[in-house]
Amino acid sequence: MENTTIPRSAQPGAVRTSSLATPWFTYGLLLIGPLLFGIFAYRGVLPVAPKMQLVIGVAAWMMVWWISEVVALPVTAFLPIVLFPALGILDLPTTAANYTNPTILLFLSGFVFALAVERHNLHTRIALHIVKLIGTESHQLVLGFMVATAFVSMWVNNTAAALLMLPIAQSVLSLLEDDFRQTGQEKQFRPFAVSLMLGLAYAASIGGIATTIGTPTNGVLLAFLRDSYQTDISFVSWFMVGFPLAVLMLIAAYVILARLLFPVSGKSLPNASVIIREKLIKLGPVRFPEYAVSTLFLLTATGWIFRTVIEKWLGVAFLNDTIIGMTGALLLFVMPDPTSKSGLLFDWSSMNKLPWGILFMIGGGLALAKTLESSGIIGLIGDKVAESEVYNYRGLVVTLVIITLALKIIIANTPLATAALPMVFGIATATGIDPILLGAPVTFAASFAFVLPMSTPPNAIVLATSQVTIRDMIKAGLLLVLVGFLLLVIFGNAYKWMAI
């Protein structure tokens, strides 16, 4: 098997930094941020109130650094902590409160579970059983890896899902290459490899839209709705819309890759089932830690699904998804495990791999959104759109989704959602449209990162394997984006179900 080096930017918990050509170019981009701040904040280029000018200046500074990634994305998220109190936009306690928002704590609990699953290798066992269940013919293997990756991505971020599945997929590719030759299918190997690798990358992005904790992008929408509209979307309500959309996108990705662009032969490969079986044998019998982590996660998921029923049964009103998730995470740390050196199922040393940067990014985005709203900028934008009387609901969805998909090609998921959603909510408020009807499709569109390697780390990860070319990715990604656009528009009023 070829020794593949995964870019540091794609490591779990890592946040991408820019790979710019020269230090001088880097310094130039660093200066553009504060320069734009000065222009918007103090030069009076926009006919708005002084406080609005300050907020717009900070927003421009953050957008330049986020889009260019001249510094690590979480570093940009620190700007509100320094600038808002210094400029008199928000006091420090109000600004800092955004970084401990309940939605951020919900994602923290999801990350803890993901690390526990990875530590005890539970993800590998689940993935292998899914692949074994679906089948080991070449086209079935592509579908099996896509389903397995999407399932893992429903509970962990897309980068971690891709990295967890990649070694298994590479092992299968390496060991099956001879099988293709022996069965006279040499020409089928490359289409199989491209479909498998791109399918893995795309499934990692698609799976995350199915659940509230699947991707931080979802967390941005949840937090904004809770803070601005006091609307709390439950795990089940989100799943009612997110899961069907994910299934349809996964089917579309499979058809585009394995049936249309890179058709994969349906002939059986003699060693495929052997490889899967040998890997399962190597894992050995299910161990106590795997049972324990699975049980705690199933209990937590049950709590999310039946939260309202549990509240009525217990006669309480304080229960929410964050409390349920953090309770499950807490139990991971205190659950006895006689098989471990520490005597506990999970310990703090494993938290070194937790993607703290993503949590800070969401916090910085929330702080920026809070000031955009409190200063009146969001309302002003919404009023201008409403005054134009050009857009109906369907037209707004089409326009906003197209803009988001276009920006998604070059901007990372979470910064894009963070920048776009406050404006979207301003338009929704001014036009009298339910904010979820505009916010949901824009949020989903922000996760449709299929066209270029810089769109999202899973794309860069599979490109690094040398099994996929950028041309392959662009060709397949554009078709999948088109399908995604059509589905997001077709879903229409179904987004209301998320707020039930």
Chain centre to alpha carbon of residue 29: 26
The neighbouring-strand residues paired with 137 are 268
Q: What is the pLDDT of residues 152-181, one digit of tens each?
A: 889 877 877 887 778 778 777 776 776 676
Q: Identify whether the C-beta of residue 445 lies closer than 8 Å to the C-beta of residue 180.
A: no
Q: Identify whether the C-beta of residue 120 lies closer than 8 Å to the C-beta of residue 176.
A: no
Q: Is the pLDDT of residue 375 over 90?
A: no
What pLDDT does residue 81 have?
A: 94
Q: Identify whether the C-beta of residue 71 lies closer than 8 Å to the C-beta of residue 30.
A: yes
Picking from 412, 401, 418, 404, the residue whose alpha carbon sits closest to that of residue 460 is 412
Q: And the tokens for 216?
A: 């931080």
* Cα separations in angstroms, 315 against 304, 325, 392: 17, 20, 43
Stretch 25-48: mean pLDDT: 88
The CA radius of gyration of the chain, in Å to the nearest whole number, is 23
- pLDDT above 70 covers a percentage of the chain that reads 88
Q: Identify whether the C-beta of residue 499 lies closer than 8 Å to the C-beta of residue 237.
A: yes
Stretch 393-398: mean pLDDT: 86
Picking from 360, 340, 414, the residue whose alpha carbon sits closest to that of residue 116 is 340
Q: Is 162 within a domain?
A: yes
Average confidence score pLDDT of the chain: 82
Q: Specify the range with the lowest mean pLDDT, choosing from 95-109, 225-239, 323-337, 385-399.
A: 385-399
DSSP secondary structure string, 413-443?
A: HHHHHHHHHHHHHHHHHHHT--HHHHHHHHH
Q: Is 26 within a domain?
A: no
DSSP category for residue 44: -
Phi and psi, residue 389, nearest 5°: 50, 35
Picking from 408, 412, 355, 357, the residue whose alpha carbon sits closest to that of residue 161 is 355
Q: Is the pLDDT of residue 130 over 90?
A: no
Higher pLDDT, 14 or 89: 89
Q: Is 71 within a domain?
A: no
Q: What is the pLDDT of residues 441-465, one digit of tens each?
A: 999 999 998 987 767 778 878 887 7
Q: Identify whether the C-beta of residue 243 lies closer than 8 Å to the C-beta of residue 210.
A: yes
What pLDDT does residue 390 have?
A: 56
DSSP secondary structure string, 287-310?
A: PHHHHHHHHHHHHHHHHHHTHHHH
Stretch 340-357: mean pLDDT: 84
Produce one character per residue of 40-76: b if its CB has 16 or more CB atoms within 10 Å, e if not: bbeeeeeebeebbbbbbbbbbbbbbbbbbbbbbbbbb
DSSP category for residue 5: P
DSSP secondary structure string, 244-283?
A: HHHHHHHHHHHIIIIIIIS----PBPTTHHHHHHHHHHHH
Ranges 42-56, 193-207, 218-232, 345-359, most confident: 193-207
Which segments of 375-412 does DSSP mark as H helices, in order?
A: 377-388, 393-408
Domain that holds residue 150: 103-353
Q: Is the pLDDT of residue 379 over 80?
A: no
Write down the residue that tokens 């589905």 correspond to. Answer: 487
What pLDDT does residue 26 have?
A: 80
Q: Is 230 left (phi over 0), alpha (psi -120 to 50) or beta?
A: left
Q: What is the pLDDT of residues 482-500, one digit of tens each?
A: 999 999 999 988 898 887 6
Q: Is the pLDDT of residue 388 over 80?
A: no
Residue 13 makes CB contacts below 8 A (sequence gap 6+) with: 160, 353, 354, 355, 356, 357
DSSP category for residue 466: T
Chain centre to alpha carbon of residue 412: 9
| Structural domain total, the chain | 1
Q: Please give the Cα distance from 62 to 41 (Å, whole number).
A: 13
Q: Is 329 within a domain?
A: yes
Q: Identify whether the C-beta of residue 487 lies closer than 8 Å to the C-beta of residue 249.
A: yes
Q: Is 438 within a domain?
A: no
Q: Is the pLDDT of residue 203 over 70?
A: yes
Exposed, middle or buried, 26 (CB in 10 Å: 0-12/13-18/19+)?
middle
**pTM across the whole model:** 0.71
Q: Is 464 within a domain?
A: no
Q: 5 falls in which pLDDT band (50, 70, 90)?
A: very low
Q: Is 127 within a domain?
A: yes
Q: What is the pLDDT of residues 242-282, one digit of tens each?
A: 999 999 999 999 999 999 999 876 555 556 677 777 778 88
Q: Please give the Cα distance from 127 to 105 (Å, whole number).
A: 27
What pLDDT does residue 13 have?
A: 37
In angstroms, the first-to-last Cα distance of the chain is 50
Q: Please give the Cα distance from 345 to 290 (Å, whole number).
A: 9
Q: Identify whether the C-beta of residue 424 lies closer than 8 Å to the C-beta of residue 85.
A: no
Write down the residue that tokens 């040393």 correspond to. Answer: 349
Picking from 122, 126, 145, 121, the residue whose alpha carbon sits closest to that of residue 135 is 145
Residue 134 makes CB contacts below 8 A (sequence gap 6+) with: 140, 143, 144, 147
Q: And the tokens for 132?
A: 């074994």
Q: Is 389 within a domain?
A: no
What pLDDT does residue 182 have?
A: 65
